[in-house]
A and B are shown apart, each in its own frame.
Chain A
Amino acid sequence: MSEQPTVTLTIDGKALSAHKGTTVYQAATRAGIEIPIFCYHDRMPPLGACRMCLVKVEKQPKLQTSCTLEAADGMVVYTDTPEVKAGQEAILEFLLINHPLDCPICDKGGECPLQDQTYKFGPGRSRFVEAKRDFAKPVSLGPALVLDRERCILCWRCVRFGEIIAGDDALKGFERGFSSEINTPFTLPVQSKFIGNTIAICPVGALTAKSYRFISRPWDNRPVQSTCTLCGVGCAVEFDVRGERITRTRAREHPAVNDIWLCDLGFFGHAFVDHTDRLRRPLMRREGGFVETTWDEALSQIASRLGRTSGPRVAMLGGARLTNEDAYVATRFFRAVVGTPHLDHRVDARPQSPDLAVSWGMGTAIADLALADCVVLIGCDITETYPVLWLRMKQATERGATIIAVTPKALEIQRFVRWQFLHRSGQGGAVMLALADAVRGTAPREAPQGIDRTALAAAAKALGSASRPVVMIGRTALDAPDGWQMLAASGEMCRKTGTELNVMRGKGNAFGATAAGLLPDVAPGGRALADAASELRQAWGSLTTEAGMTAPEILDAAVAGGLDVLFVIGADLANDVPDRERWRAARARLPFLVVQDAFLTETAQMADVVLPALVAAEKDGTVTSIEGRVQRVRAAVSGPGDARGDWAILAALAARLGKTIAYSGWEEIFNEMRGLIPGLGIDERLPVRHPPLGKPSEPERPASAAGGFPLILIPGEALFDRGVLTSRSPTIADLAGEPWAMLHPDDAGTIDAADGEPVVITSARGSVAVRARISPVVLPGHVFLPRGYDAAPVNTLIDVNEPVTFVQVRALAPAAPS
């Protein structure tokens, strides 16, 4: 690489050299010279709105804004002459003219750049005696955000964040001059998945969090560095803890993962941790109801039940909510102590779907997404599933990257999607084949109806000529009726373009559960069971190294009466499994169900014994993100009542069964894992191991609409939902709102449903009540229903034996004539 040209300048008498193109402000900061700023933010280009960063440049008559001033050769700059000081004081005095100075009641007080800089650079007194700007305050801008317009210094950081970083234009500036104000377009509740970041970068207390309102002061908070486990991106976070409560979550800088950003699920989604519904004591079923019991009794009961059965009649499901260490000890417990190979964390996988044939996770590094020149999203709704990854893609689009999306519902980011192929259910495979053909250079075969062939050819051309393409396949594609076809075509496309397929699948620590061996057919580290057998035997003693049943097969076995005991750890099967009816049938035939969780989930309500477990924010250990990065979680709070960490529970249970699982702490487990999992290390990335692709185990059957059910159901993802955890984080539950479904205006017209009105969706299996959202982002004939709302569970509608679920939508109240 050629040397970047540099310039030499003098700042405060120090001779500095800087790359050409850097600003005076950047050069000074790098040399440790402080210049106060408000509007400039180093993740965004300079703007020059606040004038706080004034410096004196020799041979220039006026003070200059250093954030916009490009460093030039021979420039002589002063940051602390009396003239500069006078300038800074004047700017601060000017900014404070309309600032209410209500620091005592302001949530930013104590960590406010305006406060700090006024102390450091301000005049100390004001000559302003006139009335200040008077706005009604505070203004609520939706469930998460509170705006105080009087405090705003109009630095435009929040507005530009929405334009440049998130691309959602959530906040805008209105009016001019004295009456300028920040607000949302049409003063509607703010529409964003990233608004927490504007709170973080607002240099004053104009934007504050509703959930943190008056909860704490910076000096009350003890910061605990940890990792967000809510989606799988694994953003670096800092929990602020006051006493025994997490008061807020903030982003920690991690250049390779989240940079300095988080999504709102990360910002506001950890409130469930201290919810009063948390399980505090073990529960046992007695005479139809639950009674609280001691650990001693609960563990004895489980141990005696396990003693009366044989290993292979026991199975374990769940694990994505565990830490790596928990998952590893669980693998050891079930394989070596209980002696069963039936363990699987992929509880939400459809039977016979390609879900079970691929390794979940990204081979592409998160940071490299920003460098991609073409991104293909196949059935992957990136902002709803792995939101912070979108911020990297947004950076890539700023550099001119092309986004191609093949989805049954137009993406929220469609403004940035160059080619959106909106396909009918079951046609995604055909679109992908045509696209793969076109990339290969062969003329695309017949493009499916409604898909523009020239667009396909153009998209393929862009992809074919891309030097750093990124291809992602998501759950919507893998679960689709033609999922195998989509997978095969995606794989083919990747081969042609010389890139790898990123399988965007798995929430929380699913990657870590895979790596720790919570799978029926591989050993920890993704190795073949037979290869790892001797090493495992050395570490664990005798164990079973057979291949076991996958999650759907475990349910089948339970339905057939082939299981005696099922452990469910950190999963809510009733809502997670693709087909609720099958879970019910399985539970009915299951003699003994143990659930280990933080809340009395629907699954736990059906259990025989419920063990209260800690959540990630209460545990020390490591988790693994979707890109395989192993990161630390740290116990911010100690957890409610008698709840225990998952591996400790299993170790205690092992002792009851006469086996020893003894570790002094997570470090010891981690060290043992390092011996078995190649490449394991803190902040290292584990590789994704791609197993050879299996063939579709079942021929695809054409789906035909059954009488009376004219619409096709597309289950999908929403970032904000109301599940076990999210419904107990008030901000997220508010952001999610009531369960909803998306209908095309044509279909809505035929059933007389109006936007926001209640409708009932019925399939041959069951029905759910939701609010209709009407938009052409879905094609006519389709209904999009997000998973994750426990009040409207998608899986009550689905019969996994049918490739496609047909439904009928009925308006509860006829729409008022307009």
Chain B
Amino acid sequence: MLKGMAVTFRYLFRPPITVVYPEQKRPAVQPRFKGRHWLTLYEDGMERCVGCELCVIVCPSQAIYVKAAENTPEHQVSKGERYAEEFQINELRCIFCGLCEEACPTGAIVLGREYELAGYTRASMIYTKPMLTEPYPGSSGRDPGREI
């Protein structure tokens, strides 16, 4: 009994681990943390995503919708013949398992560190392609020069 109480008291006088969120925030999440998705770009600004829909079929919660289209010389969006014309992720359905990132053959889709995902409507939680695409190469935190 005494032994047990000793443990209790030891913890009682340690500083608390709990963070008073959202007033207080932890400095950073772990590097392998899986937060919101980004569609990343190559260094030259080309989209990595080729609209292959592998993320769609692998996703266990069926959160992703992709509609592919064909690149033309005048409108070259990605490398190769195919690109994603539409890309939507329902962040409400997503369970942040990261399988989409694992399946992606070009390393286009990645899960970032941002975890503050909330909205006032369901519709606002369906992230569309402009919301998902990183604003400039590397802004999601991934090296745009990486292989995949």
**Distance of A105 Cα from B81 Cα, bound (Å):** 7
- Tell me if B52 and A104 are in contact (CB < 8 A): yes
CA A220 to CA B55, docked complex, whole Å: 12
Report A-chain residues with C-beta under 8 Å of the C-beta of B109. Answer: none
Q: Knowing A102-B80, A104-B105, A138-B81 touch, does A214 contact B56 (C-beta < 8 A)?
A: no
Q: A118-148, CB under 8 A of B: which get 1 and which 0?
A: 0000000000000000000010000000000
Pick from B56, B68, B70, B82: contact of A219, CB below 8 A: B56
Q: Does B29 contact A (CB under 8 A)?
A: no
* Interface bits A93-121 vs B (CB < 8 Å: 1, else 0): 00000000011110001100000000000
Given A213-B70, A214-B68, check contact A105 B56 (CB 8 Å): no
Say whether, besides A104-B105, A104-B106, A214-B69, A220 and B80 are in contact (CB < 8 Å).
no
Query: Is B54 close to A, CB under 8 A?
Result: yes
A102 to B79, CA, bound (A): 12
Contacts of A215 in B (CB 8 A): 68
Q: Given contacts A214-B70, A214-B82, are A220 and B53 in contact (CB under 8 A)?
A: yes
Q: Secondary structure at chain A's binding surface: helix, strand, loop or mixed? A: loop
Which partner residue on chain A sits nearest B108 by CB separation?
Answer: A104
Distance between Cα atoms of A745 and B111 in the complex (Å):
69
Q: Does B51 contact A (CB under 8 A)?
A: yes
The residues of B that contact A103 with a CB separation of less than 8 Å are: 52, 105
Q: Which of A102, A103, A214, A217 has the most CB of B within 10 A?
A: A214
Which of B52, B69, B70, B81 is within 8 Å of A109, CB to CB?
Answer: B52
Shortest beta-carbon distance from A221 to chain B in Å:
11
> Does B110 lie at the interface of the complex (its beta carbon under 8 Å from any beta carbon of A)?
no
CB distance from B102 to the nearest CB of A (A): 14
Interface check B95, CB cutoff 8 A: no
Residue B100 at the A interface, CB < 8 A?
Answer: no
Measured in the bound complex, the distance between the Cα atoms of B61 and A667 in whole Å is 38
Minimal beta-carbon separation of A298 from chain B (angstroms): 36
Report which residue of A103, A105, A110, A213 has the largest number of chain B beta carbons within 10 angstroms of its beta carbon: A105
CA distance A394 to B67 in the complex (A): 41
Measured CB to CB, the closest approach of chain A to B73, in angstroms, equals: 13
CB neighbours of B70 from chain A (8 A):
213-214
Please name all residues of chain A whose beta carbon is closer than 8 Å to the beta carbon of B97 when the two chains form the complex: none
Contact yes or no, A105 B50, CB < 8 A:
yes
Which residues of B15-57 have CB atoms within 8 Å of chain A's CB atoms? Answer: 50-54, 56-57
Asked if B80 and A219 make an inter-chain contact with CB atoms under 8 angstroms apart, the answer reads: no
Which A residues between 200 and 230 are near B, CB-CB below 8 angstroms? 213-215, 217, 219-220
B81 partner residues in chain A, CB cutoff 8 A: 105, 138, 214
Chain A contacts of B69 at CB under 8 A?
Answer: 214
Residues of B within 8 A of A214 (CB): 51, 68-70, 81-82
Q: Are A105 and B52 in contact (CB under 8 A)?
A: yes
- Smallest CB separation, A53 vs chain B (Å): 30
Residue of A at shortest CB range from B69?
A: A214
Neighbouring A residues of B53 by C-beta, 8 Å: 217, 219-220
Query: Which residue of B has the minimal Cβ distance to A217?
Result: B53
Are A104 and B57 CB-contacts (below 8 A) given A213-B70, A214-B68, A214-B70?
Answer: no
When chains A and B are docked, how far (Å) is the Cα of A198 from the Cα of B57?
A: 27
A103 and B104 alpha carbons, distance in the complex (Å): 12
B82 / chain A contacts, CB cutoff of 8 Å: 104-105, 214
Q: What separation, in Å, do the CA atoms of A553 and B141 have in the docked complex?
A: 78
Cβ–Cβ < 8 Å partners of A104 in chain B? 50, 52, 54, 82, 105-106
A105 — which chain B residues lie within 8 A by C-beta?
50-52, 80-82
Q: Are B57 and A219 interface neighbours, CB within 8 A? A: yes
Q: Are A217 and B57 in contact (CB under 8 A)?
A: yes
Taken together as a complex, chains A and B put the C-alpha atoms of A220 and B50 apart, in Å, by 17
Are B105 and A217 within 8 A (Cβ)?
A: no
Complex CA–CA separation, A214 to B105 (angstroms): 17
Closest to A104 in B: B52
Which chain B residue shows the least CB distance to A210? B70
Residues of A within 8 A of B54 (CB): 104
Interface 1/0 per residue, A216-257 and B, CB below 8 Å: 010110000000000000000000000000000000000000
Which residues of chain A are within 8 angstroms of B57 by Cβ–Cβ distance?
A: 110, 217, 219
B-contacting residues, A56-106, CB 8 Å: 102-105
Q: Decide yes or no: A217 and B80 within 8 Å by CB, A104-B50, A105-B50 being known contacts.
A: no
Q: How far is the CB of A107 from chain B (nearest CB, A)?
A: 9
Residues of B within 8 A of A213 (CB): 70
Interchain CA distance A219-B55 in the complex, whole Å: 12
Q: Please name the residue on chain B nearest to A214 by beta carbon.
A: B68
Q: Nearest Cβ in chain A — how far from B76, in angstroms?
A: 13
8 Å CB contacts to A: which residues of B89-115? 105-106
- CB B59 to nearest CB in A, in angstroms, measures 11
CB distance from A209 to the nearest CB of B (A): 13
* Complex Cα–Cα for A639 and B51 (A): 28
A104 to B79, CA, bound (A): 12
Q: How far is the CB of A781 from chain B (nearest CB, A)?
A: 48
Question: Chain B's nearest CB lies how many Å from the CB of A82?
Answer: 32
Question: Cα distance A138–B57 when bound, in Å?
Answer: 26
Q: Do B56 and A217 have beta carbons less than 8 Å apart?
A: yes
Q: How far is the CA of A422 from the CA of B94 in the complex (A)?
A: 69
Fill in one digit per residue for A145-186: 1 if any B CB lies within 8 Å of its CB, else 0.
000000000000000000000000000000000000000000
Find chain B residues with CB under 8 A from A109 CB: 52
Nearest residue (CB) in B for A105 is B82
User: What are 25 pairs between A and B in contact, CB < 8 Å?
Assistant: A102-B80, A103-B105, A104-B50, A104-B52, A104-B54, A104-B82, A104-B106, A105-B50, A105-B51, A105-B52, A105-B80, A105-B82, A109-B52, A138-B81, A213-B70, A214-B51, A214-B68, A214-B69, A214-B70, A214-B81, A214-B82, A217-B56, A219-B53, A220-B53, A220-B56
Question: A102-B80, A138-B81 known; 19 other A-B pairs, CB under 8 Å?
Answer: A103-B52, A103-B105, A104-B54, A104-B105, A104-B106, A105-B50, A105-B80, A105-B81, A110-B57, A213-B70, A214-B51, A214-B69, A214-B81, A214-B82, A217-B53, A217-B56, A217-B57, A219-B56, A220-B53
Q: Which residues of A contact B (CB under 8 A)?
A: 102-105, 109-110, 138, 213-215, 217, 219-220
